[in-house]
Amino acid sequence: MSVTTESITADSTATQPVEVIADLPSHVVLPPCDLFSDEPPLETDLHLQQIILLLECLNWLWRNRTDFYASANSTIYFSEKQLKSRDFRGPDFFVVLGVERRPRKSWVVWAEDGKTPNVIVEVLSESTAEVDRGLKKQLYQDVLKVYDYFWFDPETLEFAGFHLVNGHYEPLEPSSDGYLWSEQLELFLGIYENQLRYFTPDGDLVPSPQEVAIAAQQEREQAEQRAERLAAKLRELNIDPDEL
């Protein structure tokens, strides 16, 4: 069984399939599709919090969309050779566009019409940084053809991003605010309070569900306080606010 990859036009924003299995004889059995993720545990709370934040914020922002899959610390299976060698490459965070939004045990490329991630983010650590900057970057560029690749170190705040142009990664230039534009997500990524966050094209912070809930609670409390002050003022004028 031969394993091949197709080049992808870099300026396209649609998910392009990678042809994983070529010239498949009719008698050959396909590799399994229902594969569990096989990733090691995250190293620190900072890594866990950062990955969860990326996932929750995007899911909240795109809560009405059904055409994407976002996952964290999940294995991407892309070839039979990889299965045999157990050479797994699980990004810390990735997004695939143009697919059904539903739970999966892992991302199995040959079960998803050859689709690979549009965006990958790696959260660097002392033990993984060299691989993330080297081997994984090469894999995402040459094999998976990932359009947008970012890495972020929650300890040192090192932050970099790349976009696939004619089959090769070119560094993204930061905006005046230091943000990097993801053409695939149509969002900026940037550092805010020592965490990697999304920003709208206008530069507004994309809130997390928790931040949205806190803001809504504050608005309710402020509305109640205004109502109480108004009621007190009416009573000073011998007006019963309950009769209005």
The CATH number of whichever domain residue 22 belongs to comes to 3.90.1570.20
**What is the Cα–Cα distance from 62 to 235, expressed in whole angstroms?**
47
CB burial class (10 A; 0-12, 13-18, 19+) of residue 168?
exposed
CB burial class (10 A; 0-12, 13-18, 19+) of residue 143?
middle
Instruction: Assess if residue 232 is contained within a domain.
Output: no
Asked if 91 contacts 112 with a C-beta cutoff of 8 angstroms, the reply is no
What was the pLDDT predicted at 103?
94
What was the pLDDT predicted at 19?
47
Across 219-227, average pLDDT: 76
Per DSSP, helices labelled H in the chain are 45-61, 80-85, 129-133, 135-142, 209-236
- Cβ contacts of residue 202 below 8 Å, gap of 6+? none
- Looking at 15-19, 107-111, 137-141, 194-198, which range is the least confident one? 15-19
Coil vs helix vs strand at 239: coil
Q: How many residues does the chain have?
A: 244
Instruction: Assess if residue 47 is contained within a domain.
Output: yes
Instruction: Assess if residue 176 is contained within a domain.
Output: yes
Asked if 158 contacts 122 with a C-beta cutoff of 8 angstroms, the reply is no
What was the pLDDT predicted at 40?
54
Instruction: Assess if residue 223 is contained within a domain.
Output: no
Report how many domains make up the chain: 1
Asked if 93 contacts 120 with a C-beta cutoff of 8 angstroms, the reply is yes
pLDDT in tens, 160-193: 999 999 999 999 999 999 999 999 999 999 999 9
What was the pLDDT predicted at 1?
34
- The vertex-42 CA angle with 69 and 68, nearest 5°, equals 5
Q: Give the pair of three-digit tokens for residue 101.
A: 């939004």
Residue 10 has pLDDT above 50, yes or no: no
Adjacent-strand bridge partners of 22: 2
Asked if 151 contacts 121 with a C-beta cutoff of 8 angstroms, the reply is yes
What residue numbers bound the domain in which 171 lies? 2-207
Residue 37 has pLDDT above 90, yes or no: no
Instruction: Assess if residue 90 is contained within a domain.
Output: yes
Of the pLDDT bands very low, low, confident and very high (cuts 50, 70, 90), residue 241 is confident
Instruction: Assess if residue 26 is contained within a domain.
Output: yes
**What is the Cα–Cα distance from 223 to 235, expressed in whole angstroms?**
18
Instruction: Assess if residue 88 is contained within a domain.
Output: yes
pLDDT in tens, 69-99: 999 989 998 887 766 555 556 899 999 999 9
Instruction: Assess if residue 224 is contained within a domain.
Output: no
Q: Give the pair of three-digit tokens for residue 45.
A: 């709370």
